[in-house]
Amino acid sequence: MVNKERVKELSAKIKEEIISIRRHLHAHPELSFQEIETAKFISSKLSAWNIEHQTGIGGNGIVALIKGRNPGKKTIALRADMDALPITEKNEVEYKSQHNGIMHACGHDVHSASLLGTAKILNDLKNEFEGTIKLIFQPAEEKLPGGASIMINDGVLENPKPDVIIAQHVFTPLHVGTAGFRPGKYMASADEIYITVKGKGGHAADPALVINPIFIAARLLSELEELMQQLSTSEIPTVLNFGKVIGAGATNVIPDEVTIDGTLRTLDEAWRETVHHNLKELIQNFSEKDKTIVLLRMDKGYPCLINDKVITSEARSFAEDYLGKENVKDLDIRMASEDFAFFSQAIPACFYRIGTGNPEKNITSGVHTPVFNIDEDALEISTGLMAWIALNLLLN
């Protein structure tokens, strides 16, 4: 068995190279389903290191295999996402995004660079472990239906089928040098809610001749707020919220319709279906009571992300060994969503957080902001930690 000092030595050796890779990816972000150059760049690195891989899996996805001795014994999959967000970067750094309006504001550049580093470490050690490491570079985490589901449909979990899948995600609230784990339910499902309230437009000075959908929408929003309050007191964490209301009228123009867009999030799949039913029922009852047409569309998004309790407990113990027990933290549940949940539905999974924040360096901004960044010291830690977890999972 490889000892952790060897892994730490290898991760330290490639630190500057992985930082350089991360900076290249950060400077050249691509949106979901458009990660063509990103995939080419990652493929070029795998080829340079003689790591067997396939491209074009589930669109722009890449799957690589590192085969140790007795490769059929066990397979551990490691996943990183590759896509960026439609955000204009405000960081003034030498590796600032060169693509206006597109930014790696969720750390997927970090995830991909880190997984490349882990790949290089494990490839150097392939004669010293038994089993196979399957590397998954996934497109389109940020946009429905999610690259994970597309890659799964394209056979990413076959030939060979992984026994376990692991992923990590940047986390500014955790200081660099730490990691966080949570067994069981961790991240929420996410559904998009689209409501259209129909009225009859016309001149605002002729109220008898119009049916104002803005007033109807206001009454509906009041009832939706009551439902939201009921759901928030449930024993199962649930969020029903609305962030966009559009009535394309003017001071003297009543619109024909109003649209209301929102989100539904929860941590239980059965309860999720119950809330869907409650929402449909509310809309139907409101339409009948108000004698108006209200259309509801629910786009089902990512499922709940559930970490396998046994695998997560094991991964946490390996992290405590690698980082020190004091540097491994408990995570709270999160109502954000993540399409890694599709993998967690298919095979035992562990999705953990890697500390990337550092107040001493003024690195405190959260993801999905134009000033998000990381302490790049985290890359040495993340590459080695994932390699160490993977090596130990191959043994168990």
The set of catalytic residues is 83, 141
Give the integer Cα–Cα distance in Å for 166 and 147.
16
* ∠ Cα 373 188 371 (to 5°): 15
The three state secondary structure string of 245-293 is EECCCECCEECCEEEEEEEEEECCHHHHHHHHHHHHHHHHHHHHHHCCC
Indicate the DSSP class of residue 333: P
Helix (H) or strand (E) holding 118: helix 108-124
- Given a contact cutoff of 8 angstroms between Cβ atoms, the answer to whether 27 and 96 are in contact is yes
Q: If we measure between CA atoms, which residue out of 75, 74, 106, 101 comes closest to residue 90?
A: 101
Give the integer Cα–Cα distance in Å for 51 and 142.
27
- Asked if the peptide bond before residue 160 counts as cis, ω within 30 degrees of 0, the response is yes
Both tokens of residue 309? 């309790």
Both tokens of residue 155? 């056979």
Q: How far, CA to CA in Å, does 88 sit from each of 17, 81, 99, 216, 297?
A: 26, 20, 9, 37, 30
* Spatial CB neighbours of 43, under 8 Å, sequence gap ≥ 6: 53, 55, 62
Single-letter residue type at 78: L
Residue in the structure block whose two tokens are 């400077």: 27
Residue 299 burial (10 A CB sphere; 0-12, 13-18, 19+): exposed
